[in-house]
Structure 1
Amino acid sequence: MATLASLRGLSQTRSPRRPHRPSPRSRRGRLRPRFHSTRLELLMTRRFHRYSWPSLAIVALAAIAQTNALAAAMDPPTTSESLRREILAMDARLSDAYASCEARRFRDVFSADAELIFGERGRLRGVAAHADDLRRDGCAMRRESVATEQRIEAVPGHLGGIDAAIQIGEQRFCARASEACDGVSTKFVALWRRTPDGWRIARLIRYAYAPTR
């Protein structure tokens, strides 16, 4: 009995447990922070004042300068008249290659591993395959292009020079026997690369085929 009484006495001397208080919730049911807003503002103020205004200004100016430099690097350089003349001269040689239908003339315009994508024939690799197709067709077509309809954009190289150019324009393939252009017109995109032997077409895409009128 004494033992039971002593245990009861110990139970009565224990400190009462604190009642469980659920975290206050907002109207949307999310938990609210237990600390007061002024405490949060004080913490943020202490962290913010670790950096002085001059240091923050320097960081901001450096970020702006880096952004401007990146934007300038992404903008393509203005196409010079000399580059336009060079590409248009090569475009005229391409028309001469179709007129002569000689493989060596095509090699003077296309790179050896050129990739040609034609809407009606799919993809060809190598200028030799394209020349063989023309000979099988009897070289019955001639090529015409208008210089004023050609758009030429320079592609900057790794060392700041112009290593490549993009030509976007329209061309017509006309039957040799017809005085007027009786054939097909297409739009095209040509990627020119500067090589030790001069400008060469590395990629050529034809699209938007339509009969000529």
Structure 2
Amino acid sequence: MFLAAAFSIALLQSAPDPALLAEVKAADTALFETFFERCEPARMTAMVTPDFEMYHDKGGVVATSGAGFVGIYAKECERRKAPDAWRSRRALLPEMLHVDPVPGYGAIEEGDHVFYERKGDGPEKLVGKAHFVHLWKKTPDGWQAARILSYAHQAVE
């Protein structure tokens, strides 16, 4: 009887929380839209923790602080101002998204995403796919990305 009750509690605890999923998905969308499609360093600063870290299987250790990450972002914004610059867009694959709570901190988000590129105002082309894990911190001001792991990158033809 005790084992059955413990198993039932474990199942309830592991059931996805629709509200948490919606909140984290919205934070994810805002972060990547800001990074790829806008140029707002102040907004990006508010979206990452001061101790933000990002690791990438192709780019290595991308950032070890929020300020460092925003600095990289600001340089990328300047580069994209050229009329013939390459521009990228990221799209979340919602069917692959999974979010788990981290009590007293925030949430872990895991999933897959795809990337599109275009040169200048040219046509957009699907170019890659990757897996990710994000650690999100829930603050009084909203969700902030604390850690990003981006890996298993594959070209898409």
**Could you tell me how far 1:113 is from its partner in structure 2?**
1.4
The structure whose RCO (Cα within 8 Å, separation 6+) is larger is 2
Contact 2:118 2:124 in 1 (8 A): no
- Match of residue 88 from structure 1: 25
TM-score, normalised to structure 2, is: 0.74
Which deviations, in whole Å up to 9, do the C-alpha atoms of 1:59-115 show, x marking residues without a partner? xxxxx97xx77x958x84433111111011111101221211321232232112111
| Backbone CA RMSD of aligned residues | 2.8
Over 3 Å counting, the alpha-carbon distance change for 1:101 and 1:183 in structure 2 is: farther
Contact 1:77 1:154 in 2 (8 A): no
Structure 1 portions without partners, runs of 5+:
1-63, 158-162
Over 3 Å counting, the alpha-carbon distance change for 1:134 and 1:199 in structure 2 is: closer
- Match of residue 144 from structure 1: 91
- Match of residue 83 from structure 2: none
**Could you tell me how far 1:128 is from its partner in structure 2?**
3.0
In the aligned structure 1, how far is the partner of 2:28 from the partner of 2:127? Answer: 19
The answer on 1:121 being equivalent to 2:59 is yes
Structure 2 portions without partners, runs of 5+:
81-86
The answer on 1:133 being equivalent to 2:133 is no
Over 3 Å counting, the alpha-carbon distance change for 1:92 and 1:121 in structure 2 is: same
Over 3 Å counting, the alpha-carbon distance change for 1:173 and 1:108 in structure 2 is: farther
Q: Hey, which of these two has a bigger chunk of strand by percent? A: 2
**Could you tell me how far 1:176 is from its partner in structure 2?**
3.8
TM-score, normalised to structure 1, is: 0.57
SS at match of 1:108: helix
Over 3 Å counting, the alpha-carbon distance change for 1:193 and 1:135 in structure 2 is: closer
Over 3 Å counting, the alpha-carbon distance change for 1:105 and 1:185 in structure 2 is: farther
Which deviations, in whole Å up to 9, do the C-alpha atoms of 1:8-54 show, x marking residues without a partner? xxxxxxxxxxxxxxxxxxxxxxxxxxxxxxxxxxxxxxxxxxxxxxx
Alignment-mate amino acid for residue 25 of structure 2 = L
Aligned residues: 144
The answer on 1:156 being equivalent to 2:103 is yes
Name the larger-Rg structure.
1
% same residue: 26
Over 3 Å counting, the alpha-carbon distance change for 1:176 and 1:185 in structure 2 is: same
Matches within 5 A, 1:1-213: 76-98=13-35, 99-123=37-61, 124-137=63-76, 138-139=79-80, 140-157=87-104, 163-177=105-119, 178-213=122-157
